[in-house]
Amino acid sequence: MIELSNVEKVYQTKEIETLALNQINLKIEKGEFASIMGPSGCGKSTLLNVMGLLDMPSTGSVRIQGEKVTNRKETKLAEFRNQNLGFIFQSFHLVNDLTVYDNVEMPLLYRKGISSKERKERIMSVLEKVGLSARVHHYPSQLSGGQKQRVAIARAIIGSPEIILADEPTGNLDSRMGHEIMDLLMELNKEGTTIVMVTHDEALAQKTNRIIRLFDGSLVN
Amino acid sequence: MKQIFKLIWNNKSRNAILILELLGTFLLVFGLYSICTMFYMNFKEPIGFTYDDVWMIDASSPEDKQIDQKILKTLPEYKEIEKATMMEGNTPFMFRYWRQIPRYKDVKKPVITFDAEDDFRDIMSLNVVEGRWYGSEDNASKLRPAVINQAFQKDFFKGENPIGKELELTERDNVIIVGVIDNFKYGGELTFTEPQLFIRTLYREPLDLPYDVRQRPSVWDNNMQGTAGDPIFIKLKKGIGKEFEQQLVTSITQEFPGTNVIVKSLPEMRESNMGTRLIPTAVLLVIVVFLVINIFIGLFGVLWYNISTRSAEIGLRRAIGANTLEIYKQFITEMLMVGLLGMIPGLLIAIQFPLLNAFDLDGQVYYVAMALAFATVSVLIVVCAYLPSRQAALVDPAIALRQE
């Protein structure tokens, strides 16, 4: 599903060169729920960004669904992300001036050929799935942390992506909320969605199919 | 679009100052374009007379109220002068708007009025389009002959043939129309055409005519007649240059001691008139440019601020599928919508001008000015939004998403 070969990521400034990822060779299978763990600054988020095509590797290649996606043009990458990837972030990244409905709708705005009727049906369906159908017209400021993350999950799955990349999705939530969100992700995984999740929480990581450990930009296994 | 509008609407208080600034700029630009459009439309219309070899003599004497007429009688002696005439009322290229209120049937309105001699037409090369200019053939007429312009014809006669029709000037004074000229834009190219009436006046020969050739409105007589004479216009023969001016002044002052004589050429007067008319426009232009610069800086500032506070949102949009062009378009569209919120009230105010027939201008002037102001402010917004939007489009999603 996702295949990284000899991936290296180097951040270069005038003074220093930082090797964020070092010779990463990794394969995430279809339907897998993998978690990435490691100490702060070890390159977890960078690895997730490379998988999510938000960042390009300095060397090496990334294949998603068998297609080599590195070196694609920016517009093609954006289109690919929209069609195949869903993102969940620790700080939710909801647009505060838009309602729950509008936030969830956002990925569909960048996808052609969806009628407004279909869009509405899809939004209502995913909001029901995450248990927020009663909060359609609320603004993010009117929601709890857990509800915000549910909105973010609804937004991630609205486009029916095969892969969800979650960067510490429970990091800003209390334990109970965190487990609720984890249950929701596991449910999505059961339905066939491949999930890669960065986490610091060992207990949550244990619930996933595989734990990928990183240290100083290298895989540790 | 709906979402962008929601974003703007939900932030309307934050954008309020900018919206007000844009409203003010729109109205000022509209005002500037209204004046420019009016000038342009007026300029396109022929001036209707020639002035190249025409000079004006302005003579006054504290002791002699008839000095102008006396000088006029001496002018045929000069070989350099082809023709000379005198007029009263509205002097070419000077800011005079003497009006009378004639009536024809139910139409009664103020019109620009000239008391002009028979030779006035030849000196100014006025173009008669119907009938004829008045002259000695009208000596037997029972009423004062008069000529109107086409604007007068349109306003008073509405398709009816005006030749031979009587106009009531006052209860005791009627005139008969003998001809129609196309136009006489005596105020210069930048003025608009108004209804005009030329009434036969004779200064030189005290003819025994059935009508009074010097019949003037009492206000004019009481207030204006006195030390200042009426202007005299002379048409020079071809090739007469500026050196004749001093010669003429010297000659007149020698013949009529104590007379103050000023000679000006009409091209000079035209130039001076044009400058005076354009000064207010130039002042407005400076104000508009100043405001436009302010708006430019304001828009820039607001956009830079927006981008700095919304970089996480930009990163998110990039992550979920927006490409750089779409981000760029979003910010330009947002700014155009802010502009619309400022310009819509501006348009509502501007539309009142043609509806209320403000300043008696053709409605077309205002409609053209509205369209131009709308386009100018929109272009200004796009230009201002270009760099900040480009900056937004280049935001690195991976970095932007790390921001809280």
Q: Which residues contact A123 (CB under 8 A, 6 or more apart)?
A: A101, A104, A105, A108, A154, A158
Which residue from A85, A86, A48 is spatially nearest to A198, judged by alpha carbons? A48
The minimum CA-CA distance between B294 and chain A, rounded to whole Å, is: 28
Q: Report the alpha-carbon distance of residue A154 to residue B322 in Å, rounded.
A: 18
In this predicted structure, the answer to whether residue B211 has a pLDDT above a threshold of 80 is no
Neighbours of A204 (CB within 10 A): 22
Q: State which H helix or E strand residue B235 sits in.
A: strand B232-236
Considering the entire predicted model, what is its pTM? 0.74
Q: Are strands A33-37 and A210-215 parallel, antiparallel or unpaired?
A: parallel
Residue boundaries of the structural domains of chain B: 2-45+273-403, 54-237
At CA A59, angle to CA A213 and CA A199, rounded to 5?
A: 25
Instruction: Flag the least confident range among A5-19, B106-120, B200-214, B322-336.
Output: B200-214
The neighbouring-strand residues paired with B130 are: B180
Residue A139: closest C-alpha in chain B: B10
Place of tokens 């002259």: B135
The answer to whether the Cβ–Cβ distance between B318 and A78 falls below 8 Å is yes
Q: What is the pLDDT of residues B140-178, one digit of tens each?
A: 888 889 999 999 999 999 889 999 999 998 766 789 999
d(CA B182, CA B167): 19
Residues 316-355 of B with CB under 8 A from A: 316-326
Q: What is the pLDDT of residue A190?
A: 93
pLDDT digits (tens, 9 = 90+) for B225-270: 434 568 899 999 988 888 899 999 999 999 998 889 999 999 999 9
Q: Using one digit for the tens of pLDDT, what is the confidence trace for B70-98?
A: 898 899 889 999 999 988 878 899 888 88
β-sheet bridge partners, residue B265: B55
User: Does domain A2-220 fall into CATH 3.40.50.300?
Assistant: yes
What's residue B207's pLDDT?
55
- The Cα B296–Cα B289 span in angstroms is 10
Tens digits of per-residue pLDDT, B30-41? 998 999 999 999
Query: In chain A, what residues touch B324 (CB-CB under 8 Å)?
Result: 74-75
CB-based contact, B313 to chain A, within 8 Å: yes
* Residue among B3, B7, B320 minimizing CB distance to A87: B320
Task: Report DSSP state, residue B257.
Answer: T
Please name which of B46, B370, B6 lies closest in space to residue B192, comparing C-alpha atoms.
Answer: B46
The 10s digit of each residue's pLDDT in A127-156 is: 998 888 899 999 999 999 889 999 999 999
Highest mean predicted confidence (pLDDT) among A111-125, A180-194, B74-88, B120-134? B120-134
> Tens of pLDDT along B324-362?
899 888 888 888 888 898 999 999 999 999 999 888 888
Q: Please, is B42 exposed, middle or buried when counting C-beta atoms within 10 Å of its C-beta (0-12, 13-18, 19+)?
A: buried
Instruction: Report the alpha-carbon distance of residue A37 to residue A87 in Å, rounded.
Output: 18
B107 touching chain A per CB within 8 A: no
- Which of B321, B324, B401 lies nearest to residue A89, judging by beta carbons? B401
CA distance readout (Å), B250 to B62, B202, B242, B254: 18, 27, 14, 6
